[in-house]
Every structure is written in structure tokens, then in C-alpha cells.
Amino acid sequence: MAEAHQAVAFQFTITPEGIDLQLSHEALRQVYISGLRSWKKKFIRMKNSFITGVYPASPSSWLFVVIAILATMYTRSDPSMGLIAKIQEHLPVSQSLSVQCQTVVSAVLFSTLLWLSLIFTMRLCLKQLLSYHRWMFEQHGKMSNTTKVWVALVRIFSGRQPLLYSYQGSLPNLPVPAIKDTLKQYLESVRPLMSASEFERMTKLATQFENTLGNRLQWYLKLKALWATNYVSDWWEEYIYLRGRSPIMVNSNYYGMDFLYVTPTPIQAARAGNTLHAFLLYRRKLNREELKPSRVPGTVIPLCAAQCERMFNTTRIPGEETDTVQHWQDSDYVAVYHRGRYFRLWLYKGGKMLSPREIELQIQKILDDPSPPLPGEEKLGALTAGDRVPWARTRKQFFSSGVNKRSLDCIEKAAFFVTLDDDEHGMMGDDPAASLDRYAKSLLHGKCYDRWFDKSFSVVVYKNGKNGLNAEHSWADAPVVAHLWEYVLATDSFQLGYNEEGHCKGDVDPNLPQPQRLTWDIPSECREQVSQSLAVAQALADDVDFHVFSFRDFGKGRIKKCRLSPDAFIQLALQLAYYRERGMFCLTYEASMTRLFREGRTETVRSCSNESCAFVKALEGGEDTELCRRLLRLATEKHQHLYRMAMTGAGIDRHLFCLYVVSKYLGVESPFLKEVLSEPWRLSTSQTPVQQVELFDLVNHPEYISCGGGFGPVADDGYGVSYIIVGENMINFHISCKHSCTQTDSHKFGAQIRQALLDLLALISPDQRDPTRGGKTQAKKDL
């Protein structure tokens, strides 16, 4: 194996004449280049840390302050009001310097202290400015004078050309809501879901909690909020994700799809070449902090970028009680799976990133490799798809030493995981709708053993050139991964491109080493556990009922013309669809971000409100059209208010969750919290944001439409609904549920959503008539 010999920098042989030392110049060169690349990265990190540390000032501003102070002193003025003289008196080297040099050194020290004080003051001012959220509650298009002044001040204190993490130190901490406010909002949210007697009982429990245990738990939370950067995020990651002992496949991981209508090349190796190269370009921008800080769309308000730190070189490590997330500073290869074999694919040579064409050729070598899987190797990935405890025990017993540990380390320390799938997927064939459903299920769980579900994300490249992504959830939320995926898709098609034959572009080094096969020694006992994990995962995968469809009748353009929020409109349609199917309302989860705060992740918007229920009942009860329109607007306004409250740290579910965690630490029981935390979310929803609109020119390239992504159902008898608003005229839906529940059906629910959207638009736009409805004239709606 040539690559094995090259890895040895020197060899020595003892002969009668002495020691014969043989140096491998190529190996030493690679060691030198690798070290040089590592030191370059360390230098870039140090430089960026310094620039971020002094932001919103710039390093050059220090020189400006020094020159200004020295120039002022030259005019025989003392801007320090005697402080420079005091510094000069206490200089430790005062006797070895002339008086003039002492004065200059003292002035430089004073200037530096003044500069640091100004930075601290600017950061404090910016942090206070970013704590102002009243702008979000103002009517669209009508900005108050206070907000106008605030916007101007934010621009002034934000500095210029920020790096990715420049705003981190200026973001406010997530506030702890008042117990009274949280309980009031909670009772309001469950009122439409309970009978009068149930609501009265819950009100008594809430009052009892507020008057007894609540204030004690709240005191501990406030103490944590003063000490920690974010009082929610670490507990949320640990208790919601890492301590879960059930499979993360389907239950936690989520996926992202390729373009809906376009496949840039039908050549699998070529698509993989461009895709992997685009990931490396993104990682380089990430490491250099060259990515622009994410902001609230249409504003100058920055969002927290902390989740980006563990995007690459990250793996979830199983444990018997709790998992951990392990992140490495760098990795110059990816782990590749193809036909039951695992490979290490180097993506750098001589410190230089491989070109797309070179990666394509390396991928083709893997595709052409005829070697069979080693015993127990083919379905090894099923361990990451099954229950966590057996995987943790198996890992400890069979992968703690020897060849198995080396190969497992190779996978876990890889930049990310790649699966070269022999299946073909996408919207194709005689039944494109069914093919999209199969495509979604493939990305969500695959064959249950051909993905490594513990990696931060796994890229799947299909035989026909389609691709997709499966992401582990504990380290980051979907918008962060969506930002990465948008960049990769756009870079693949619009920057890298392909030649006329569909192959990647770029030069090729003929001396690239072969991709390295990973070797394993899997005993029969371990294979038995693999089979058991596969059986658990397969049963879970087979139970998933998935439906993906594009709604093209109208989009956010029509909705906005009716002066309604597109998201609120869709959420109201989901409430109407669920009520029509089940004849009842349910606790509804919509994910909202809290990244306006440092290390913020998500908060819950309880979309099923009194206002939404009142509207649905009125519409289905045949009430007057004008009344229904008024109730519709009230419902959408209420939803927008709830969403804004969640974004600004005034949500209730994370607060209740943390109160529950504190109660467990203290060893006290709360009947109220226990009941609240056990309520099932039968309708779990999320919008996938389109963030990098500058990368996709949908006007000139309307076929390059992202299909979005989805996730599995949260409740056994409920639905998971993900949607992405694409352009002005399309909304893509991803609906999941379980076959084992006789009350749910993803296709029927999709039809109900489609009809609900049409009916809402017909209601709010009387000039539009729904051709599918004969008797009633109902109308479509605009957001």
C-alpha cells in the first residue's frame, strides 16, 4: 500500500557497517506542509480572535488614538488630566529611559487604556441597543421616531466589515420571563384544548405552583442567568437531545433535499466532486470568519453565530446515560460509504485543496473498487440508527482498541460523512409525487445502515446525480444547516459548474494517493448487536409515512397583497386542515429562533390559540363571511404576536422546561410542571428559511428551486410538517406521520392542507373562486 509507505518519514536498518538511515523526502515534505497548514490556521484564528475581540473598533483605530493623544500633548495640552504623569512616575524602566521616552511610553499606555475603555463602552452601548425589541411589534411600514433613532445608533455602534463572530460579545443574554407572565400565557394557550372542568383544575395547579414552588425555582434560574451566557441552551442540548436513549434516526435527525426540477449533472462522481469541494469552500470561509454574520431579514440586527462552530469535524459520541458532542479543530479528509465498504478520502494534497475534478476522480476510484465488504462491515452503521445504550456498550466493548478503534476514529474525526448511494431518487418517473415521497424517506433514514447518523451531517449522492443531506440535531438547528446547504447548492451550479460532458472542471494531479479502505475485525457478538440495532431501526423506518408536495396555486406574493403574514397564513391553514381531519384541535408546536440572544437556539410558538380556534369554528360553522374575515385577521395578528414574543425571549416553553430541570435537581415534585411537560405535540411544524437570496436568482433561473427539508413525526399519533416558502408563487410541504396510527395519513393530511390554503385565500379574496368547491363560495387568502 503506497499510502502506508509514504506515511513513514524515515526507516533505519542495523547492518554490520552500522545504522543505515533512509529518509522519505516525500513523507517529510508532507509532514512539513501539514504543519505549515496547521500553523497558518492557528495564525488566522489568532488574528480573527483579536479583530473580533476589539470589535466594533478596528485595530487601526488604536494607532489613531495614539497619534491623537501624542499630537495633543505636542500642543502642550494634557488630555489625560494628569494620568500620563502618574503612569510616568510608576514606570518600572523609568531610570533607563530619557524623560522624553518616558513621556511617549506613558502616552502610549494611556492611549491603549483609553482605546480599550472606548471599546468596552461601545460594546456595552451596542448590547443595550440590541436589547431593544419594540421595533418588532410596530406595524409594518410604520416606524416610530424612537425606532428610527435606534436604527441609526445601531448602525453607528455596529462598526464596519464585521467578521462572522464579531457581534457575539455584544449580543444580550436571554432574559428569564416572570413566573406570572409565563403561567398566564400557558393557561391562555391551553384554554381551547380543555373542557371547562379541565381548565379549572389546571388553573388551580398553576396558581398553587406560583404561590409555592415557582418562586423558589425561579430564583435558581435567575442565578443561572447571571452566571451563564444562556440559561436554556446547555440544558436544552443535554436533556432534549443528548440524554435521549431512543434512536436519533427519524426521531431527531432531519434532512435537506436537492433542487426540485434540476439535476446539474447525471454523473454521480462529478456531482460528488463539486458538492464536496463546495463544502470545503464553505468551511474555509467559516474558519476564516469570512461569512457575513446572519441578520434578521431586512434589518441590521445580527443573529448569534455560535452554532456554526461545530458544523464540521464533529460527531455525537454515544454514552450509556448521556451522549456527548465531540468537535475537532480540523480534519483534511471525509469518510465515504459505498456498497458496504468504508473509505478515507483525503481532500488536501501538499496543503492545497483538491480541485472538483480531482475529487471526482477519487470518488470514481471508490465507485470502481470491486472489493467486497469485510465480515460485519456492510451494516455497521446500523449501530448509530438504533437505541443509544446498546451502541454505547458495543462501542466500549469492541471499538476501544486495535484496528476497530482506528477505523472508528477515522469516521468520527472526518470533516463529514459521505454516502455514495446506488439508488436513484428525485422527482422522476410516471409518478413524480410518489418519487418525492421515496426521496424524502431515503434521506431521512436510507437503508438504516448506509448513513452514519452520529456525524454532524452526512451527504448522500445518488446514482443519478441527485444529492441530499441528513443532519444530527443536537449541535445546531435547521436554519444553520440550511444556510450551509444553500451555499453548497448555489456554488455547485453557479460557480463551479460542469463541462459539456457533465464532468467537473479543474486540473488533475496524476500522483494522488488511492482512497484508503478502512479495515475492521468485527466479532460475531458484535455482529449480533448490529443485527438487533438494524431490526429496531428498520421497524422505525418502515413505520414512517411521508408525503412531499409542492403547492403552486399561489405563494407569499398573493398572501402579502392581502396584508397578511405568510407564516401566520400557513399556520392557520394547518389548524383548519387538522380540525377538518380530526374534528378537534391539538397542541401545536412551531419552532421559532431565539438567536437575537447569545447562544440562543429555539423557542416554541403555540400556534393553536383562542383566536385561531374561534376562526376555524366560525368558518366550519358557516358563519357570516365578514365575521370569518375579521376572525381570520385577528388570528393571524395573534400568531404574529406570539412569534414575536418567542423571538424576543418572552416565550413560555423553554422557561417551563428549565423550571422543571431545576425541580429535578432539587429533588422536588411539581404536579403542574409534570403535567405541562408530558403534554404531546400532535402537530409539530417548522418553516425552513431561504436565507441567501443573493445566491439564487429565481427570476432568471426559476428552475433552481430548493425543495426544502423535513423531519419525522414527534408524536406517535401526530404529524410533523415542514414547509419552505420559495419565491413568490410556491410553497413546498414535507409531511410525516406513522403508519401504525390509524388516525393519521400523510397524503390525506396533505390534501386537507392544500384545500385549506385554497379556502383561506378564497375567503380573504372574494374575487377568487375555488373551482374544486361547488356549493359554497369560499375564497383564497393572502399573507
**Element housing 507 (H / E):** none
At position 534, the amino acid (one-letter code) is L
DSSP run (H or E) holding 698: none
Residue from 80, 75, 78 nearest 117 by CA: 80
At 255, the amino acid letter reads: Y
Query: Are the C-beta atoms of 86 and 24 separated by less than 8 Å?
Result: no
Whole-angstrom CA distances from 759 to 572, 574, 627, 639, 646 are 11, 12, 15, 19, 29
Is residue 339 within 8 Å of 333, Cβ to Cβ? no
Phi/psi of residue 175, nearest 5 degrees: -75, 155
Q: Which residues contact 256 (CB under 8 A, 6 or more apart)?
A: 443, 468, 469, 471, 481, 482, 485, 708, 709
Looking up cell 441552551, which residue turns up? 233
C-alpha cell at 567: 407564516
How many CA atoms lie within 13 Å of 168's alpha carbon, on the beta-carbon side? 19
Please report, for residues 172, 222, 226, the alpha-carbon distance to residue 218 in angstroms, rounded to integers and kept in the order given: 20, 6, 12
Question: Do 683 and 220 meet the contact criterion of CB atoms below 8 Å apart?
Answer: no
Cα 520 from Cα 504, distance rounded (Å) = 33
Contact present, 463 and 423 (Cβ < 8 Å): yes
Pairing of strands 352-353, 324-327: unpaired
- The whole-angstrom separation of Cα 343 and Cα 335 is 6
| Residues near 111 by beta carbon (within 8 Å), at least 6 away in sequence | 62, 65, 66, 68, 69, 70
Distance in angstroms (rounded) separating the CA atoms of residues 698 and 703? 7
Q: Residue holding cell 545504522?
A: 19
Measuring CA to CA, which residue among 137, 222, 171 is closest to residue 56?
171
- List the one residue out of 246, 221, 251, 247 whose CA is nearest residue 234: 221
Rounded Cα gap, residues 105 and 316, in angstroms: 52
Give dist(CA 384, CA 247) in Å, integer: 8
Which grid cell sits at 505?
Answer: 472542471
Query: In whole angstroms, what is the distance from residue 39 CA to residue 33 CA?
Result: 10
DSSP code for 173: P
Query: What's 771's DSSP letter?
Result: T
Q: Which of 473, 639, 655, 734 is catalytic?
A: 473
CB neighbours (10 Å) of residue 637? Answer: 14
Q: Which residues pair with 724 in a beta bridge?
A: 732
Examine the residue annotation and report whether 473 is marked as an active-site residue of this protein: yes
CA pair distance 591, 479, nearest whole angstrom:
11
Q: What is the dihedral sign for C-alpha 555, 556, 557, 559?
A: positive
Pairing outcome for strands 730-738 and 544-551: antiparallel
Helices (H) and strands (E) in the chain, counts: 24, 20
Selection from 373, 309, 376, 300 nearest residue 147 by Cα: 300
Q: How far apart are CA 404 and CA 521, in angstroms?
A: 6
| Residues classed as catalytic | 473
